[in-house]
Amino acid sequence: MKEEIKGLAGFLVAGLGAAAALLAWAPLARVNVEGGFEGIHRDLGVLYVDLPLVAVGGALVPLACWLLTLRWSRRPWLAALAAVAAAALGIWGLTSWWVPYRAPEFGY
């Protein structure tokens, strides 16, 4: 594989990782953006704090795994497999452990 194609594949891995992380995160964050019942729990902080962090993490985790595996093994198929596994584990961790903030509800 040529060096240019390896570099483009790395960018593709980063873009797909960021897109997959955002698509997995968006349904969880919907409660904070819409606000729930009558918009009481609206917290737009998820858009300017969590959104960039999820996008950067989704791009950097598979890319770093791709680059380290490619440097270590020199086999692009093994690097692609490692990057997909790292992205899947990262998205699993994101959907398992990240919980949007929910303000306590007080009775009237």
Are residues 46 and 31 in contact, defined by beta-carbon separation less than 8 angstroms? no
Check whether 85 has a pLDDT greater than 70: yes
Please give the distance of CA 108 from its chain centroid, rounded to a whole number: 39
pLDDT at 103: 63
Check whether 107 has a pLDDT greater than 60: no
Global pTM?
0.81
Check whether 108 has a pLDDT greater than 70: no
Position 46 confidence tier, pLDDT thresholds 50, 70, 90: confident
